[in-house]
Amino acid sequence: MDRPTADAALAGLDLVPFAESAVAQAKELERMLLANDIPVILAKPPAKACCGGGCGCGAKVQLMVREDDAPKIAQLLQADWLDAVRREGTIDAGLVPLRTPAENELICPACQFVGVLVDGMCQDCGLVLE
C-alpha cells in the first residue's frame, strides 16, 4: 500500500494512537505496516511538558490507526519479533521464555510482557493495545 492509498483509506475516520516513538522508528513501522496493507498515518502527539521542552528526549510522533487494525498490528509485530529471536537462536538456547497467555491475558508485541491490560495498555511498557 502506498501513502496516497493509505491516506484515502483513513480519510474522515476516527483514528487511535497505536504507538508513540522517535520519528525514525515510527517511519520504519509505518513502512512495515503499509507493506502489509495496513493503512497508517503519522501525527504530532498531544503537547507534553517533556517532549520538545529541552529535556533531550527528542521529537516524537504517533502512529495513528483504525481501532480495528490494532490487533492485526499487534500480531504482525509479535510475529516479526519471534522471527528475529528465532534467527538469533535465543529461543532454542532458552534465553527467551515463551509463555502462552491465559484466557484474559495478552502478549505485548513491543516488550513481550504477558498479562492483562490496564486501561487498555501494557502493564510493562505502556503500549496502547485496546
- Identify whether residues 58 and 116 lie together within a single domain: no
Domain of residue 15, residue span: 1-65
- Identify whether residues 38 and 82 lie together within a single domain: no
Instruction: Identify the residue with better confidence: 128 or 15.
Output: 15
Of 27, 50, 65, which marks where a domain is finished? 65
Position 92 confidence tier, pLDDT thresholds 50, 70, 90 = low
- Identify whether residues 79 and 122 lie together within a single domain: yes
Which region holds residue 94: left if phi is over 0, alpha if psi is between -120 and 50, else beta? left
Looking at the structure of the chain, the number of domains it has is 2
- Identify whether residues 95 and 54 lie together within a single domain: no
- Identify whether residues 114 and 71 lie together within a single domain: yes
Of 40, 65, 90, which marks where a domain is finished? 65
pLDDT in tens, 32-81: 999 999 999 999 888 764 555 555 667 889 999 999 999 899 888 888 88
Report the length, in residues, of the chain: 130
> How far is Cα 60 from Cα 80, in angstroms, rounded to an integer?
23
